[in-house]
Amino acid sequence: MVVSLSKKKKFIADGVFFSELNEFLTRELSEEGFSQVEVRKNPLRTEIIIKTTRTQAIIGVKGKKIRELTTLIRDRFQFGENKLEVYVEKVINRGLSANTQAETLRYKLLKGLAVRKACYSIIRSTMESGAKGCMVTVSGKLRAQRAKTMKFIDGYMIHSGNPVNDYVQTSIRHCLLQQGVIGIKVSIMLPWDSTGTIGPKMPLPDVVTVFSKNESF
């Protein structure tokens, strides 16, 4: 039975589907280097692309794990037979993935590394990977009993306007330590890339390019 939806309900249903799928994959594949998920829909089937730093860990032995994930997603969202395909794609530069860096920081704090040292190591690796800017925020009972927030920033970071949706990746994690829960937030500003490989194709609106007289445009 085909149920027709209005445009408003269709947008809401797509947003709820993506949010629930992203939350499920983040919880299930956090140790396998999960970065982000992309959903492509066409009239024949729905394609889900899982972007990760460790493709073999998600595929599993003889494709066992990827088949289990496909079955779970198909049963949960009631996809028909041959209507869902799940693919795995390797992240080219893991230093520009906010989810990967936040998960790395979480594991460093769980191992007992000092907060300041762990945050600066994340910022250094991110900036060395080619990011325009990086901001790491850690809040909770860091040293004393009183909770506080520590913020570490390097490079150039935008906070408002539509380019934030294209240029800034943000990831939030929670670290359960003995003294309480520590909140982690990692924001990475991607560089402009004309090919769209490591960053958005569209340049920032406030960037002005001055051409010489002999240069055509």
Comparison of pLDDT for 217 and 41, the residue scoring more: 41
Q: What is the pLDDT of residue 217?
A: 53
**Range 46-59 average pLDDT:** 85
pLDDT, tens only, 15-40: 898 899 888 888 888 777 788 888 88
Tokens linked to 78: 């009631």
Q: What is the pLDDT of residue 132?
A: 92
Query: Average pLDDT over the chain, rounded to whole?
Result: 87
Tokens linked to 31: 């140790």
Q: What is the pLDDT of residue 2?
A: 54
Q: What is the pLDDT of residue 216?
A: 58
Q: What is the pLDDT of residue 188?
A: 94
**Range 56-70 average pLDDT:** 85
- Strand-pairing partners, residue 90, are 52
Q: Is the dihedral of CA 84, 53, 128, 107 positive or negative?
A: positive
pLDDT, tens only, 113-165: 888 999 999 999 999 988 999 999 999 988 888 889 999 999 999 998 899 99
Helix (H) or strand (E) holding 46: strand 46-52
Q: How confident is the model at residue 193 (pLDDT cuts 50, 70, 90)?
A: confident
Q: For residue 45, give the 3-state DSSP assignment.
A: coil
pLDDT, tens only, 206-217: 888 887 777 655
Q: In whole angstroms, what is the distance from residue 20 CA to residue 136 CA?
A: 25
DSSP per position, 86-137: EEEEE-S-GGG-HHHHHHHHHHHHHTT--HHHHHHHHHHHHHHTT-SEEEEE
